[in-house]
Structure 1
Amino acid sequence: MPVRQHQARPPRPRGRAAAALVLALLAPLLLWLSPAPAHAVDEPAETDPLAVSIDELDTVSLDGRTKGRITVRGKVVNTTEDEWNGVRIYPFIGDTPMTTSEELAEAAKMPADALVGERIVAEGAYATVPDLAPGETYSWSLKLPRKLLHVTQAGVYWFGVHALGAPSPTTADGRARTFLPLVKEPNKKAKAQKVSLVMPLRRSVVYNADGSVNYLRGWTRDLSAGGRLFRMLETGTEIPSLTWAIDPALIDAVRNLAEGNPPRDLSPTDGSGEEPEESGSQSASPSVSALLPSAPASADTAAAKTDEETEAAQKAAKVWLGRLEKALAGHNLLALPYADPDLSALATNDPDLLATAREKTAQALTELGIKATSAVAPPTGYLDRAAVNLLEPGSVNLVSDRMFRGSAPVVADLDGHQMIVTSSGAAAGGPGPNDPVDAVSVRQRIVAEAALRRGSGKPLVAVIPDGWHPPQTAASFVTPWEKAPWIASSTLSEAVAGHKPTSVTVDRLRYPRREMKAEVSADRISAAKELIGAGELLQRVLTHNDEVADDVVSEALTTTSYSARKGDTDSAANALDHISSELSSITVSVPPKVILSSMKGGEFQVTLSNELDEPVTVRLDAITDDSLRVATSEPVQLDANSKASFNLAASMHDTGTHTALIVVTDTKGNPLGAHASVPIRPSQVSGVIWWFVGTGCALLFAAIAVRLTRRIMKAKKVRTSTGAM
Structure 2
Amino acid sequence: MGEPARHSGLEAYGQPGRTGHAADRGEPGRRAARTARRFAAAVGAALALLSAAPAGALPNGGNLPAADSTVSAEYPVVMTIETMTPMVTAQNGTVTITGQVTNGGKSVLKSAHAAVRKPWSGKPLTARSELLNVAGRTSPTGSDGVELDSPQYALNELGPGQTQQYTLGVAVNDLQLSGEGVYELAVDVWGSTADNQRDRPLGIARTFLPYSPTPADAQPSKVATLWPLVHAPVLAAQTISENEQTVSVLRDDSLAADFSPGGRLYELVDTGSKLPGLTWVVDPDLLDTAFAMTRPYRVQKPGTEHQAAKEDNTVQGTGQAAATAWLEKLRTAVAKPTSQVVSLPYADPDLASIAHNGADLQGMDAALGKAATAGRLTVEGRLAVDTRSDVAWPYQGYLDQQIAGVAQRAGAGLVLVNGASLPESDALKYTPTAVRPIGNGQTGVVADETIAGLFQSDLNTPQAQTLAVQRFLAETFVISRQEPQNPRGLLVMPPRELTADTAKVLATALQTAQTGKWVEQVKLDVVAQSAPDPKANGSVPAAADYPAHARSSELPSSDLTGTIKIQSDLDLLMRVLTLPQRVRGPFSAAMVRSMSTEWRTQAPAGSTYRDGVSTYLGDLTKAVKVPQKNVITLAGDTGVLQVSVRNDLTQPVTNLKLVLRPTQPNRLRVSDPEELVLPASQSVTLRFQAEAQNNGPVQMTAQLWTTGPDSRPYGDEQRFTVEVTSVTNGVLYVFGGGLVLLLLAALRFFRQRKRRGTDTEDPDAPLSEEPAPAGDAGDGEGPERGGAAQTPRGSAADGRDQATSDEKVGP
Same fold, judged at TM 0.5 (above): yes
The answer to whether structure 1 residue 396 and structure 2 residue 414 are counterparts is yes
The answer to whether structure 1 residue 343 and structure 2 residue 351 are counterparts is yes
The equivalent residue for 2:496 is 466
After TM superposition, give the deviation of residue 320 of structure 1 in Å. 2.5
State how 1:318-717 maps to structure 2 within 5 Å: 318-330=324-336, 331-347=339-355, 348-349=359-360, 350-368=364-382, 369-374=384-389, 375-389=391-405, 390-391=407-408, 395-404=413-422, 406=425, 410-413=434-437, 414-429=439-454, 440-454=466-480, 455-456=482-483, 457=486, 458-468=488-498, 469-470=501-502, 476=508, 479-495=511-527, 497-500=529-532, 502=534, 509=541, 511=543, 512-515=545-548, 517-518=551-552, 519-537=554-572, 543-544=578-579, 546-568=581-603, 569-570=606-607, 571-589=609-627, 592-595=630-633, 602-612=639-649, 614-617=650-653, 619-622=656-659, 624=661, 627=665, 628-629=669-670, 631-639=672-680, 642-651=681-690, 655=694, 658-664=698-704, 673=715, 675-680=717-722, 685-688=727-730, 691=733
Q: For 1:372-423, what per-residue CA distance to the aligned partner results, in whole angstroms no more than 9, with x for missing partners?
A: 1121222422222133234367843221333235356643221322222221
Work out the CA distance in 1 between the residues paired with 2:691 and 2:223.
80
Work out the CA distance in 2 between the residues paired with 1:76 and 1:137.
5
Work out the CA distance in 2 between the residues paired with 1:581 and 1:605.
25
After TM superposition, give the deviation of residue 529 of structure 1 in Å. 1.4
- Judged with a 3 Å threshold, the aligned counterparts in structure 2 of structure 1 residues 517 and 396 are, in CA distance, closer, same or farther, namely closer
After TM superposition, give the deviation of residue 616 of structure 1 in Å. 4.0
Contact 1:101–1:425 (CA under 8 A) maintained in structure 2: no
Matched to 1:530, the amino acid is K
After TM superposition, give the deviation of residue 51 of structure 1 in Å. 8.9
Quote the RMSD (CA, aligned, Å).
Answer: 5.2
Q: Which moved more, 1:531-540 or 1:111-120?
A: 111-120
After TM superposition, give the deviation of residue 527 of structure 1 in Å. 2.0
Contact 2:253–2:299 (CA under 8 A) maintained in structure 1: no
Work out the CA distance in 1 between the residues paired with 2:468 and 2:172.
23
After TM superposition, give the deviation of residue 438 of structure 1 in Å. 5.8
Contact 1:401–1:422 (CA under 8 A) maintained in structure 2: yes
The answer to whether structure 1 residue 235 and structure 2 residue 271 are counterparts is yes
Q: For 1:658-682, what per-residue CA distance to the aligned partner results, in whole angstroms no more than 9, with x for missing partners?
A: 4333235667765564542222466
The equivalent residue for 2:173 is 147
Work out the CA distance in 2 between the residues paired with 1:191 and 1:657.
93
Work out the CA distance in 2 between the residues paired with 1:492 and 1:104.
27
After TM superposition, give the deviation of residue 202 of structure 1 in Å. 2.3
* SS of equivalent residue, structure 1 residue 373: coil
Q: For 1:81-109, what per-residue CA distance to the aligned partner results, in whole angstroms no more than 9, with x for missing partners?
A: xx999999866675475444445456556
Matched to 1:491, the amino acid is K
Work out the CA distance in 2 between the residues paired with 1:92 and 1:253.
54
Work out the CA distance in 1 between the residues paired with 2:164 and 2:653.
64
Q: Percent identity?
A: 20
Contact 2:277–2:521 (CA under 8 A) maintained in structure 1: yes
Q: For 1:342-380, what per-residue CA distance to the aligned partner results, in whole angstroms no more than 9, with x for missing partners?
A: 223324343333223212212322431332112122242
Q: For 1:506-548, what per-residue CA distance to the aligned partner results, in whole angstroms no more than 9, with x for missing partners?
A: 8663652435733332212112212344455555565446143
Work out the CA distance in 2 between the residues paired with 1:494 and 1:254.
30
- Judged with a 3 Å threshold, the aligned counterparts in structure 2 of structure 1 residues 471 and 151 are, in CA distance, closer, same or farther, namely farther
The answer to whether structure 1 residue 66 and structure 2 residue 91 are counterparts is yes
Matched residues, number: 603
Q: For 1:8-42, what per-residue CA distance to the aligned partner results, in whole angstroms no more than 9, with x for missing partners?
A: xxxxxxxxxxxxxxxxxxxxxxxxxxxxxxxxxxx
Flag the structure with more relative contact order, 1 or 2, with Cα contacts below 8 A and sequence separation at least 6.
1
Work out the CA distance in 2 between the residues paired with 1:166 and 1:259.
66
- Judged with a 3 Å threshold, the aligned counterparts in structure 2 of structure 1 residues 475 and 337 are, in CA distance, closer, same or farther, namely closer
**TM-score, structure 2 as length reference:** 0.61
* SS of equivalent residue, structure 2 residue 642: strand
Work out the CA distance in 1 between the residues paired with 2:736 and 2:526.
103
* SS of equivalent residue, structure 1 residue 644: strand
* SS of equivalent residue, structure 2 residue 92: coil
- Judged with a 3 Å threshold, the aligned counterparts in structure 2 of structure 1 residues 689 and 121 are, in CA distance, closer, same or farther, namely same
The answer to whether structure 1 residue 201 and structure 2 residue 229 are counterparts is yes
* SS of equivalent residue, structure 2 residue 502: coil
Matched to 1:248, the amino acid is P
Contact 1:88–1:164 (CA under 8 A) maintained in structure 2: yes
**TM-score, structure 1 as length reference:** 0.67
Which sections of structure 2, spanning at least 5 residues, go unmatched? 1-69, 240-248, 301-309, 738-811
